[in-house]
Amino acid sequence: MKRWLMEILICPAKECRSELNLEVYKSHEIELEDNQVEEIDEALLTCPKCTRWYPVIEGIACMLPDNLRMTGKQHIEEVKFLERWKERIDSPILENGTPFGLS
């Protein structure tokens, strides 16, 4: 995802809609219409209001409702994301994140 997308991204949780915080773990520069823009590959989005976290995996912000994140392939991918970046993710998220952590 492009960094400028942060300007319009909000927490999708019902009755939240807060602005999100971004922590970038991996990104690269690309040239777009003669401008250098930052393409974010891997990052953590966190919501200061409802405390949910959302991953950016392979350039895609995964902002699904909780129930779709708790099972199946999506859940496996998001657990792998937490494991991949656990040295850099705050321990409250790893231990007891919303909607889930690693424990």
Nearer to Zn ion, 15 or 34 (CB): 15
Nearest approach, Cβ of residue 20 and Zn ion (Å): 8
Nearest approach, Cβ of residue 30 and Zn ion (Å): 29
Nearer to Zn ion, 21 or 31 (CB): 21
The phi, psi pair for 38, rounded to 5°, reads -90, 120
Nearest approach, Cβ of residue 55 and Zn ion (Å): 15
> CA 48, 94, 5: angle at the middle one, nearest 5?
45
> CA 30, 23, 12: angle at the middle one, nearest 5?
95
Nearer to Zn ion, 1 or 52 (CB): 52
Residues within the interface to Zn ion (CB under 5 A): 11, 13, 16, 18, 47, 49-50
Nearest approach, Cβ of residue 9 and Zn ion (Å): 11
Nearer to Zn ion, 6 or 26 (CB): 6
